[in-house]
Amino acid sequence: MPLTPEEVEVLQLSLKVALWSVLVSLPLAIGIAYLLARASFPGKTLFDAAVHLPLVLPPVVVGYFLLLAFGRNGPVGSLLNDWFGVVVMFKWTGAALAASVMGFPLMVRAIRLSFEMIDRKLEAAASTLGAGRLAVFATVTLPLALPGVITGMLLSFARGLGEFGATITFVSNIPGETRTLPLAIYTYTQVPSGDEPALRLSLIAVALSFAALFLSEVLVRRASRRMFGDDAHS
């Protein structure tokens, strides 16, 4: 049975929210991952724990803190509203923000591990040839970390597709605006005639998550072969 217009809308919104959550958080994730992988500073362990806190906190708690911070009367939300006229509460942008916060630790962890595995002799060689720190990072470090970047992006994307607790707490469950796949499935399970659409959307969610993980493995293998040769995954 084909998807109904309402289900298509839910699917399109979910993909948009998950995609933007990854794109917006990627630069910050790369920066923090590099900082955790290479730098030593007081409070690093505490900072590392704070970055990964959304992995262990109940998503509802994360959503509540987002509500306090980005609500109309919150410190960040009031500033965005007063200075830029931007409101994220009860908007799809708020759903993307919730998804990015929940997926951020996964992205940082994957990229950090990739940075830590890089042979620093390659970076040192580039420096001896006259490349500055920024040039070394852009031409040597970041390309070598590409498998981790890809993995982090796709894991965060999959996490964004499945985000429920933080989203419904922060931006509610509004059809056409914040009702993503998990929220739509939940809504359908609450009505007598909702079993069939709930099952269809659940199967779509499984397929999308599986596709993201499969694509991550394929792209990582391809990137590794390109950089390290055919024996990289043999």
* pLDDT tens profile 18-35: 999 999 999 999 999 999
Q: Where are the alpha helices (DSSP H) in 42-91?
A: 44-51, 53-56, 59-70, 75-79
Grade residue 234 by pLDDT with cuts at 50, 70 and 90: very low
Q: Please tell me the least confidently modeled range out of 105-114, 160-169, 210-219.
A: 210-219
Q: Which of 97-106, 187-196, 222-231 has the lowest mean pLDDT?
A: 222-231
Cβ atoms of 157 and 212 within 8 Å: the answer is yes
Alpha-carbon distances, residue 26 vs 3, 54, 150, 188 (angstroms): 32, 16, 10, 33
pLDDT value, residue 3: 80
Q: What's the pTM value of the predicted model, to 2 decimals? A: 0.89
Three-class DSSP category at 164? coil
When pLDDT is cut at 50, 70 and 90, the band that residue 228 belongs to is: low
Given a cut of 70, whether residue 1 has pLDDT beyond it is no
Are 102 and 168 spatial neighbours (Cβ–Cβ below 8 Å)?
no
pLDDT at 45 over 90: yes
CA–CA dist 17, 96 (Å, integer)? 5
Q: Is the pLDDT of residue 202 over 70?
A: yes
Give the model confidence (pLDDT) of 58-88 as tens digits.
999 999 999 999 988 899 989 988 898 888 9
Decide if pLDDT at 206 tops 70: yes
Rounded distance between C-alpha atoms, residue 170 and residue 72, angstroms = 12
Q: Residue 229's pLDDT is what?
A: 61
Nearest Cα to Cα of residue 167 among 146, 194, 192, 187: 187
Q: Which of these, 60, 62, 65, lies nearest to 165 by C-alpha position?
A: 60
